[in-house]
Amino acid sequence: MDFYTVVDEKDMDEPSSQYIKTIEWDMMDKTKFFPLSMLSSFTVRCALYPLTLIKTRLQIQKHNDLYTGMLDAYGKIYRYEGFTGLYRGFWVSSVQIISGVFYISTYEGARHILKQQNVNSNVRALIAGAAASLVGQTIIVPFDVLSQHLMMMGVNGREEKNFNTLGLKIQPGRSKFALTLDVARHILKVDGIAGFYRGYWASLSAYVPNSALWWGFYHFYQDQLFAIAPTWVSHLFIQSVSGTLGGFTTTVLTNPLDVVRARLQVQRIGSMRCAFRDLWVEEGLRMFCKGLSARLIQSATFSCSIIIGYETIKRISVNDEYKQFIKW
């Protein structure tokens, strides 16, 4: 999931109209913004990656055969694989910080064009969020496929039979880069280039609505909070709460799509239809909450962290002539 925030539009009818609530793209120094944004994104992803790994394993397992929940998964992974097991596949996944640059550039560009057409703020956010996710996913899916296969490797004991879908094993002393090449060669041999885009349409079906809905809910919650919050309340605090609520709501609505995406990419299921059918047969109504606890914590924490980092960077990067109109 990639998520960024922008404050609501400047409203000249409000008592706090001297403050800019939307830090626009052309108000910032990009030489400051891009490197700081990438650093912030990498830091957040590094801190929260274990939740991503746990969420993926909970989604891939059948029923609760391997892990009974998020805490049980954390304990078993740490016990069997050590601390590094929680970061398996991280360096491949970290390429997402590059796709994040394209994501936010697409988002801001689409939002700017729609603003010129006088499109409503919430609708602008929804459409721009969908467009940004489309671009971001096209770049990141091959790396997502690699990282998710790596996440499934290295599990000891009875779990290995269930998770190691490639039949590859981690050899002592073998570097992470060499293991990644092994996985890439195996995917290329079995499925060809198309194997690196396995689950691409499922990813779009999961992440494009997720991104669009997140932006829509984010602006909805932000509007409501700005309407009821006293003028002395921090704008950054309101944005962080809005992002967290947006992430929470969107995750509940899109969780089955994310489970299907993960299974298509890891288990080599033929189609989304088959994946949904198998998931329904295995889980029934539980498919709507499979891996949900880890995903909710990941999404809410990620949304809040990214927003705080992103909005702070925007304030640091804003051009001097606007600094006096920015409220923290």
Q: Can you tell me the distance from the alpha carbon of 252 to that of 258, in angstroms, rounded to the nearest whole number?
A: 11
**Helical packing angle, 292-317 and 235-267, nearest 10°:** 130
pTM, two decimals, is 0.66
Element (H, E) at 258: helix 235-267
Dihedral of alpha carbons 153, 154, 155, 161, sign: positive
Q: Can you tell me the distance from the alpha carbon of 224 to that of 228, in angstroms, rounded to the nearest whole number?
A: 7
Domain 25-325 CATH (choose: 3.20.20.70, 3.40.50.300, 1.10.238.10, 1.50.40.10)? 1.50.40.10
pLDDT, tens digit (0-9, with 9 covering 90-100), for 90-105: 887 777 777 778 888 8
* Token pair recorded at residue 185: 């060669």
Closest CA to 312 of 325, 326, 299: 326
**Helical packing angle, 292-317 and 70-81, nearest 10°:** 80
What pLDDT does residue 237 have? 92
Q: What is the mean pLDDT of residues 9-32?
A: 65
Look up tokens 């109209």; give the residue.
17
In this predicted structure, the answer to whether residue 14 has a pLDDT above a threshold of 60 is no
What pLDDT does residue 168 have? 56
Decide if 313 contacts 10 (C-beta within 8 A): no
Q: What is the mean pLDDT of residues 166-183?
A: 65
Q: What is the mean pLDDT of residues 21-29?
A: 78
Q: Can you tell me the distance from the alpha carbon of 216 to that of 58, in angstroms, rounded to the nearest whole number?
A: 28
What pLDDT does residue 3 have? 37
What pLDDT does residue 323 have? 84
What pLDDT does residue 271 have? 66
Averaged confidence pLDDT in the chain: 76
Q: Can you tell me the distance from the alpha carbon of 106 to that of 112, in angstroms, rounded to the nearest whole number?
A: 10
DSSP structure string for 23-81: --GGGB-HHHHHHHHHHHHHHHHHHHHHHHHHHHHHHHSSTTSS-SSHHHHHHHHHHHH
Closest CA to 302 of 121, 40, 87, 84: 40
Q: Can you tell me the distance from the alpha carbon of 293 to that of 67, in angstroms, rounded to the nearest whole number?
A: 13
Cα–Cα distance list, 208 to 125, 131, 136 (Å): 12, 8, 10
pLDDT, tens digit (0-9, with 9 covering 90-100), for 131-149: 988 888 888 878 777 777 7
Decide if 33 contacts 264 (C-beta within 8 A): no
What pLDDT does residue 241 have? 92
